């Protein structure tokens, strides 16, 4: 049997897989268009803002149409949310600038800080997730993960003025919530304490699995907080390397 036949015969193994024809590079282009729209003084622009908005709409509609029959409505709903995303992102920039003594300019945050890039991409992905757009939010999240080392599931709920310092190795799970004015350092994990299985031994999908972090909290490097019923109260400071598996309001 020649190589082509072997490969095509193996397609039988994935015949029951879903299949969506998405263009990952187009989705990354869509992200970069939003970056340019929100920060026009920081990037070279070859189009007017009006043209960029129309290009964002066009690209997003193309990609959502590959995965969702309701692509017209969901595209327009996302476009309406752009000013809200913009406001959140500007607050994130402010939080990083105010909270990082090494930061001298806003430009270095916008162009190079992995914490900001990771959060920017999360903010966009989260809005698509909230609209129940399939797959695309996860592609954006994993692109950010590739670029920054920061892994934020688009389903996580994160409040205003979020500051990630350094950022490498941060993991925030799908059902985690993070309050306003929270600061995280590299290696922080908001994860699962245990996985529930059904009577056949298969993982039960869905359900609250990740912790909640209150407002004005700081989580230092390599802190790990686990469990869907774990709540970290407002103003809590979690020290470096701590493992938290139950609710805490202690100010360490």
Task: Sketch out the chain's domains with CATH numbers.
Answer: 22-149 (1.10.3130.10), 169-252 (2.160.10.10)
**φ/ψ of residue 89, rounded to 5:** -65, -40
Assign 63 a pLDDT band (cuts: 50, 70, 90): very high
Place of tokens 């350092």: 185
pLDDT averaged over every residue in the chain: 93
Tokens of 88: 């959140």
CA distance 249 to 31: 38
pLDDT of residue 196: 78
| Mean predicted confidence (pLDDT) in 211-235 | 96
Strand order in the sheet with 237-238: 163-165, 183-185, 218-219, 237-238
pLDDT of residue 202: 79
For residues 218 and 225, the answer to whether their CB atoms sit within 8 Å is no
Q: Is the pLDDT of residue 250 over 70?
A: no
pLDDT of residue 14: 82
DSSP 134: -
Q: Is the pLDDT of residue 216 over 90?
A: yes
| Residue 56: its H or E element | helix 49-64
Place of tokens 């282009």: 29
pLDDT of residue 1: 61
Instruction: For the chain, state the CA radius of gyration.
Output: 20
Q: Is the pLDDT of residue 200 over 80?
A: no
For residues 120 and 85, the answer to whether their CB atoms sit within 8 Å is no
């Amino acid at each position: 049997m020649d190589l082509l036949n072997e490969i095509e015969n193996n397609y039988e193994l994935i015949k029951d897989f879903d299949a969506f024809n998405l263009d990952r590079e187009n989705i990354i282009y869509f992200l970069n268009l939003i970056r340019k729209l929100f920060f026009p003084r920081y990037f070279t622009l070859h189009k007017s803002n009006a043209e960029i908005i129309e290009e964002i709409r066009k690209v997003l509609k193309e990609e959502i149409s590959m995965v969702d029959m309701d692509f017209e409505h969901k595209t327009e709903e996302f476009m309406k949310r752009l000013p809200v995303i913009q406001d959140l992102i500007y607050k994130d920039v402010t939080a990083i600038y105010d909270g990082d003594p090494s930061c001298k300019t806003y430009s270095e945050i916008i162009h190079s800080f992995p914490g900001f890039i990771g959060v920017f991409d999360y903010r966009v992905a989260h809005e698509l997730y909230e609209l129940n757009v399939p797959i695309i939010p996860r592609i954006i999240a994993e692109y950010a993960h590739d670029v920054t080392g920061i892994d934020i599931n688009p389903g996580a709920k994160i409040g205003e003025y979020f500051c990630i310092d350094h950022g490498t190795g941060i993991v925030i799970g799908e059902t985690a919530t993070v309050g306003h004015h929270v600061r995280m350092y590299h290696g922080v994990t908001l994860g699962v304490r245990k996985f529930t299985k059904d009577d056949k031994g298969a993982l039960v999908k869905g359900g609250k699995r990740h912790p909640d972090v209150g407002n004005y909290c700081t989580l230092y490097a390599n802190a790990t907080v686990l469990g869907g019923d774990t709540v970290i109260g407002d103003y809590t400071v979690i020290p470096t390397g701590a493992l938290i598996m139950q609710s805490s309001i202690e100010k360490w």
